Structure 1
Amino acid sequence: MRILIIGGQGTIGKKVAAALSPRHDIIIAGRYSGEARVDITSATAIESLFKKLQTVDACICTAGTGYYGDFDTMTEEHMNNGVRGKLLGQVNIVLIGKDYLTEGGSFTLTSGIASEQPARNGTCVAMINGAIDSFVLGAAQELKKDKRINAVSPGLVEDSLERYGHLFPGYNAVPMQRVVNGYVLSVEGAVNGKIIKVWP
């Protein structure tokens, strides 16, 4: 398969790419690195990426994050980057990319454990992850030509523990291989409309 991985140079994306590359043709895209460049906050940039590639058999997105901060002082402005990027960016990848995805192809989005187990100061991320999960459930009913869509919902991965562990006191980290397996299941398996939870 020809697989596009948006965010393929990130902590999770590069491990997913390494797992899939022995069996598939991998195209890495990112804002600042990769074979192709794309800013997922821009629908125009997403359209340009797919036009350049013409067709893909699978699209994985591991890009995007959200705001962590005090709820009492959180504003719309704080939330905008995450909403425009991780949420609407992934939504637009599907809405635009569905016309370039081959018959029987798949989308794999990334949400996260915060949708059900939000950390302190993580209300924005909880909202974004929950919305992604709901979008996947709805879109799975609407995609045509046997196209599939799933979301991988990782917990705190071991590879991110040093950088982000302070935001998740008491959380048990998830081995990266378990997270990678979630993406492999979504791409190479037959599941559709699933939130693949990779939690402790």
Structure 2
Amino acid sequence: MKVLLIGASGTIGQAVAKALATEHKVIAANYSGEGFNVDIGDQASISALLEQVGKVDAIVSTAGLANFAPLNELSDADYELALNNKLMGQINLMRLGKEYLNKGGSVTLTSGVLSREPMSGSGVISMANGALESFVKASALELDAIRFNVVAPIFVKETMAMMGMDTAGGLSADDTAKAYVAAVTGSMHGQTLDAPDYV
């Protein structure tokens, strides 16, 4: 399969690229750096990317920005970033990308465990994650030409270690990637794939 991976240079993205590349052709896209460049917060940028890449069998997003901050410290810009990038940016990957999918293709987005297990400071992240999961579930009822799913990672050990956190409750990026591979190669539709379930 030909897979367009957005956010390929991130911690999870790199692991997903490595896991998929064993059997599939991975086309990397990032906000900056190697591969194609795309800003998922900008519809024109997404359209330009899709025009450049052409038809694919799967689109996977491990991208999406949202800030972690106490509720009383969140600004309008924090809400707008989560809504325009993490939420609508990924939704637009499906809205625009479905026209570039080969028959039986799939789109896989990224939410996160904070949708159902929030913590102090996760307000806008939990908001975007929960909205993504609900949108995928509802949209799948009307999408019969493609499969549409979302992966919900838990905290990634590599990121936790980088932040000086205890990694005991995390999941490695390589193990997290297994849920994305399942979404791309499986038959599920309208599902939230909890990453720990695929280890």
What TM-score, normalized by structure 2, do the two folds share?
Answer: 0.93
Once residues 155 and 10 of structure 2 are traced to their aligned partners in structure 1, the CA distance between those partners, rounded to angstroms, is: 14
Residues 170 and 184 of structure 1, relative CA distance in 2, 3 Å threshold: closer
Q: Does 1:176 align with 2:179?
A: no
Once residues 10 and 127 of structure 1 are traced to their aligned partners in structure 2, the CA distance between those partners, rounded to angstroms, is: 22
Deviation of the 1:34 alpha carbon: 2.8
Q: Does 1:161 align with 2:155?
A: no
Contact 1:110 1:152 in 2 (8 A): yes
Query: What do residues 159-187 of structure 1 show as CA deviations (whole Å, max 9, x unaligned)?
Result: 11123465xx8981113333111001000
Decide which moves more: 52-61 or 69-78.
Answer: 69-78
Contact 1:58 1:187 in 2 (8 A): yes
Which residue does 2:36 correspond to in 1? 36
Contact 1:109 1:151 in 2 (8 A): yes
Which residue does 1:14 correspond to in 2? 14
Within 5 A, what are the aligned runs for 1:109-124? 109-124=109-124
Instruction: Report the 3-state secondary structure (helix = DSSP H, G, I; strand = E; otherwise coil) of the residue aligned with 2:59.
Output: strand
Structure 2 spans left out of the alignment, 5+ residues: none
Contact 1:7 1:30 in 2 (8 A): yes
Query: What do residues 84-124 of structure 1 show as CA deviations (whole Å, max 9, x unaligned)?
Result: 11111000000000111111000110000000111211111
Deviation of the 1:199 alpha carbon: 4.3
Contact 2:160 2:167 in 1 (8 A): no
Misfit runs of 4+, over 2 Å: 162-166, 175-178
Once residues 26 and 172 of structure 1 are traced to their aligned partners in structure 2, the CA distance between those partners, rounded to angstroms, is: 30
Decide which moves more: 147-156 or 28-37.
Answer: 28-37
Structure 1 spans left out of the alignment, 5+ residues: none
Contact 1:156 1:171 in 2 (8 A): no
Once residues 165 and 76 of structure 1 are traced to their aligned partners in structure 2, the CA distance between those partners, rounded to angstroms, is: 29
Contact 1:30 1:38 in 2 (8 A): yes
* Cα-Cα RMSD: 1.7
The amino acid across from 2:7 in the alignment is G
Residues 118 and 199 of structure 1, relative CA distance in 2, 3 Å threshold: farther
Once residues 168 and 48 of structure 2 are traced to their aligned partners in structure 1, the CA distance between those partners, rounded to angstroms, is: 39
Instruction: Report the 3-state secondary structure (helix = DSSP H, G, I; strand = E; otherwise coil) of the residue aligned with 2:57.
Output: strand
Once residues 193 and 163 of structure 2 are traced to their aligned partners in structure 1, the CA distance between those partners, rounded to angstroms, is: 22
- How many residues align structurally? 197
What TM-score, normalized by structure 1, do the two folds share?
Answer: 0.93
Once residues 54 and 186 of structure 1 are traced to their aligned partners in structure 2, the CA distance between those partners, rounded to angstroms, is: 21
Within 5 A, what are the aligned runs for 1:98-117? 98-117=98-117
Which residue does 1:148 correspond to in 2? 147
